[in-house]
Structure 1
Amino acid sequence: MARLNHYSKADHAIDWQLDSVVHSLRDAREQWRADHGRTNESGGRSLPSREIINEVVEAVIGAVFPMRLGPSNLRHHSEDYFVGYTLDAALNALLDQVLLELDHTAMRRGEAPQDHSDQAVTIVRDFGAMLPTIRHWLDIDIMAAYRGDPAARSVDEVLLCYPGITAIIYHRLAHQLYSTGAPLLARMVSEAAHSATGIDIHPGASIGSGFFIDHGTGVVIGETAIIGDRVRIYQAVTLGAKRFPADESGQLEKGHARHPIVENDVVIYAGATILGRVTIGHDSIIGGNVWLTRSVEPHSNVSQASLQKSPC
C-alpha cells in the first residue's frame, strides 16, 4: 500500500467523500451476506489466497523441472537438495490453503465445525506423491510438441516458450488437486494459466498423454471433456457444452457429462467448435472452423465442405 502514495502528484489533500463510499460498500456487503445466508460469518478471511497458490505452483513447477524452470543459479550437484527443500515449503503452504478450502466448504454447506487436518494432509500427500508421474506425463507432452511443430528447435525451447506447454503443466497439477478433493484451489491454478496463456482448461477435464496445443490462444476445454492420447489441437478450438439443463427453479443443473470425448490420435484444427457429449473417433481430423454437434466415426475427415453435404 505504501507504494500507492508515489503515484499521486497532488500537493494538497482532496476530499474523495470516502465516508459515503465506505458506508455504501458496507451496505453492499451486508446485503450480499443476507441474500446468501452469510450473516453469521465472523472472524478473519476464510478463503484460500490466490497469491499463495500462485507461489506454491511456481515453486512446484521449479521442483519438477529444476534445471530449466528452477532458480538461475542452481547447479546439478545441489538439485536434490533444492527439490526437497522447495517441495517441503510448497507442500506445507499448500496444506494451509487446502485446510482453508475444506473449512470454507463445510461452512458453506452448513456443516458443524470439525477438524479437517487429516483430510487435508491426505490431499497434499497424494498431490506430492503424484509429482513424479506428472513429470513423466509432461515429458511426453513436451516431446509431442517438439515433434509436432517443425518450428521447434529444441525441447528446451518448447518448455520455456510454448503457451500450450505452460497450460498443460498447470492443468496436470490442477487436475490432481481437483481429483483429490480441492476443486477451488484447482480452479485457481487453472485460471492462473488461463490469464497467462489465453488457454482455458477446466481442471476437471481428463487429458491423456502426448497432448499438444499449438499456438493456443482462445482454446477452451470444458469440465467433463475426455481427451485421449496423442491428441493435437490448434488455436481457438472449443470443446464445449451444447446445452445446459435447468431444474424446476430455473437453476442450472451441475455435474452432468456435457462435453466432448476425443479419442486417441485426433487432430483438431484452428477455430473448430465441438459441442455436447459427442465422441470424435480415433485417428480423425477435424478441419478448421468446423461447427460439430454430432459424433464422428474413427478415421473421419470432417471439413466445412463435408458438413454442408451431411447436416450435423
Structure 2
Amino acid sequence: MGRLNEDRVESIVQLILDDYTDERAVNKTDLYNQPDKKAVIEIVEKLLKILYPGYYSDKAYKIYSLRNNMSATIEDVIFHLKKQTMIVLKYCGAYPGCADNDLEEKAQNMVFDFMEKIPQIRAYLDTDIQAAYEGDPAAGSKDEVILSYPGLYAISVYRIAHELFLLGVPMIPRIMTEHAHSVTGIDIHPGATIGKYFFMDHGTGIVIGETTVIGEHVKVYQGVTLGGLSTKGGQKLKGVKRHPTIRDYVTIYSGSSILGGDTVIEENVVVGGNTFITKSISKDTKVSVKDQELQFKN
C-alpha cells in the first residue's frame, strides 16, 4: 500500500513538472531575474522611516544619532531600490538591447532622481496630514493620524510610487500601491495625479484609477470609485484618459461612483452618497440622490 502511494506521489510530481514546460504566464520560473515583491515591500517600509522619522523607526532617534541612523537607512534604500529597478528594467524589456552596465547606470540615475524628490513628497504629505486632522473631528492629534489612519498610509505609499511611476520605473510602483491596497483596502493606481491636502475619511473600498486627476483640498469617503466607464477595450485603451477629473475643494461622500475620462467635477462640488455620475458637474453644485422610499414588510 505504501509503495502504491509513493508511485502516486511521483506521478503527481511529474505531472505538475510537465505542466511547467510551455510559455504561459503562470510558468515563469526564472526566480533570480525577476523583481522580488518582498524586497520591494521592505523598501516601502524603509522609505516610510525616512518620510516619518521617529514614527516608523525601530526605536526613538536621539538628536545626535539621527544623521547616522538616517544615513544608513537612506544608503540601504538606494542600494536595494537600484537593484530592484535594474531587474525590472531588464525583466520588462524597457531598454531592449541595452548592455547591463548601461542598464545599471539608468537604474542608478532613476533612484537618485527619486531620492531627491523625498523633500517634495514630505511637503505634500504634511498637507495630507493637515487635511486629515482638520477634516476629521474624531482625530485626537496629528500623531494619531500618522500612526493609525489607513488613508494616510495609503496616500504615503501612493506618493512614493507616483514619483517612481513618473520616472518610468516599471512594475515596482504597482507592487507598492497594491501592497497598500492589501493592507488598507484602498486602491490607488500610481499613475493617478493627486494634489495637496487630500483626505480619505475611513478609506476602505476607495478606488482611484490610473488616469484620474484630483486637485487640492479634496475629501473622499469610503467606498468611492473614480473609475472608467468600460474596460472592454483592454490594452487598446492604454494611455487613454479613462478616469474622471476632480477639481479643487470637492467632497465625495460614501458609495459614490464617478466614471469616465471626459467627466469633470468642477470646484466646490459636493457629491452625495450612493450617486452614479458619468457626466460633468459644474462648480458650486450639490449632487444627491432623491430620497429612496423605504418599505417595511412583516
**TM norm structure 2:** 0.89
Conserved 8 A contact 2:154-2:181? yes
Unaligned runs of 5+ in 2: 292-298
Aligned counterparts of 1:61 and 1:286: Cα–Cα separation in 2: 33
Partner amino acid for 2:273? G
Q: Using the alignment, how far apart are the partners of 1:16 and 1:51 within structure 2? A: 36
Distance apart, 1:75 and its partner CA: 1.9
Partner of residue 132 from structure 2, selected from 133, 137, 145: 145
Inter-CA distance 77–112: structure 2 relative to 1 (3 Å threshold): same
Taking the aligned partners of 1:232 and 1:58, their CA distance within structure 2 comes to 26
Instruction: State the TM-score, normalizing by the size of structure 1.
Output: 0.85
48, 53, 69: which one pairs with 1:61? 48
Mark the CA change 1:59 to 1:42 in structure 2 (over 3 Å): closer, same or farther. Answer: closer
* 1:192 to 2:179 alignment: yes
CA-to-aligned-CA distance 1:255-280 (integer Å, 9 cap, x gap):
21100000001000000001101100
RMSD across aligned positions (CA): 2.1
Figure out how many residues of one structure are paired with residues of the other and give that number: 283
Aligned residue runs from structure 1 range 20-39, under 5 A: 20-31=11-22, 33=23, 35=24
The reply on whether 1:80 has 2:64 as its aligned counterpart is no
AA at the equivalent of 2:81: L
Alignment of 1:60-139 (within 5 A): 60-106=47-93, 111-112=96-97, 114-115=99-100, 116-139=103-126
Counterpart AA for 2:186: I
Separation (CA, whole Å) in 1 of partners of 2:9 and 2:123 = 54
- CA displacement at 1:44 relative to structure 2: 5.1
1:138-179 Cα deviation digits (max 9, x unpaired):
011001000000000100000000000000000000101111
Does the Cα contact within 8 Å between 1:146 and 1:154 map onto a contact in 2? Answer: yes
Q: Is the 8 A contact 2:54 2:60 kept in 1?
A: no
Q: CA deviation at 1:135?
A: 0.6
Structure 2 residue identity aligned to 1:112: G
Looking at structure 1, the residues matched to 68 and 131 of structure 2 have their Cα atoms a distance apart, in angstroms, of 30
Match in the other structure for 1:289 = 274
Which residue identity is paired with 1:259? H
Question: For structure 1, which runs of at least 5 residues remain unmatched after alignment?
Answer: 1-13, 307-312
Counterpart Cα distance in 1 of 2:7 and 2:277: 54
Match of 1:272 among 256, 281, 294: 256
Identical counterparts, % of pairs = 38
Q: Using a 3 Å threshold, how does the CA distance of structure 1 residues 17 and 243 change in structure 2: closer, same or farther?
A: same
Aligned-residue offset at 1:24: 2.7
Assess if the C-alpha contact under 8 Å between 1:244 and 1:252 holds in 2. no
